[in-house]
Amino acid sequence: MQQKRFGVVLIGENTDWRGIYNPLKRRLGDATSKAPTDETTPVALILGGGGTARAAAYAATKLGLDKIYFNRTPSKVRTPSKVEELATEFGDTVAKSLDHDKNNKGSLASVLDENNRRVSAVISTLPAAAEFQLPEWLLESDSLPIVFDVNYKIIQQSC
């Protein structure tokens, strides 16, 4: 962003995406490309729909991951929902639930199954106060996803 005001040029950049991209790139390595014996497509499951979720979607796009978005609080969903806006802007799918039932249309399991995908990374942008827990079935697969919580609560500040 560049803005000229009173003869001064201000230049700014949002670096949140880099704080998500860099550690995931180190951990995923070449996991974003299909292995010859693995015909599934790697996916980033992005939890949340705010500004940090936007940075996560951008980082996942740069990593070459498909994206599935999930909003944990149906009561906060508006029309169109923030996650649907992210899906429109960055592409891919919204999961209506994190159910393991492949027959439940819109569940994460059905979305993964219909497109032969696997969750390689879970990027939680939910506030620490949400006390959200991932469903156990996501952590019981043969290829465990990287779980990255990008929002955290500082217990004690040093200054």
Residue 79 predicted with pLDDT over 90: no
**Which tokens hold the place of 46?**
């992005």
In angstroms, the first-to-last Cα distance of the chain is 31
Residue 37 predicted with pLDDT over 60: no
Residue 114 predicted with pLDDT over 70: yes
Q: Which CATH code fits 40-149?
A: 3.40.50.720
Residue 38 predicted with pLDDT over 70: no
> What is d(CA 149, CA 126) in angstroms, rounded to the nearest whole number?
8
Partnered with residue 107 across adjacent β-strands are 97
Mean pLDDT of the chain: 83
**Residue pLDDT, tens place only, 11-24:** 777 888 999 999 99
Residue 107 predicted with pLDDT over 80: yes
Structural domain boundaries in the chain: 40-149
Instruction: Please report the pLDDT score of residue 36 as a whole number.
Output: 45
Global pTM value: 0.81
Please choose, from the candidates 114, 31, 97, the residue with its C-alpha nearest in 3D space to the C-alpha of residue 65: 31
What average pLDDT does this structure show over 125-153?
86
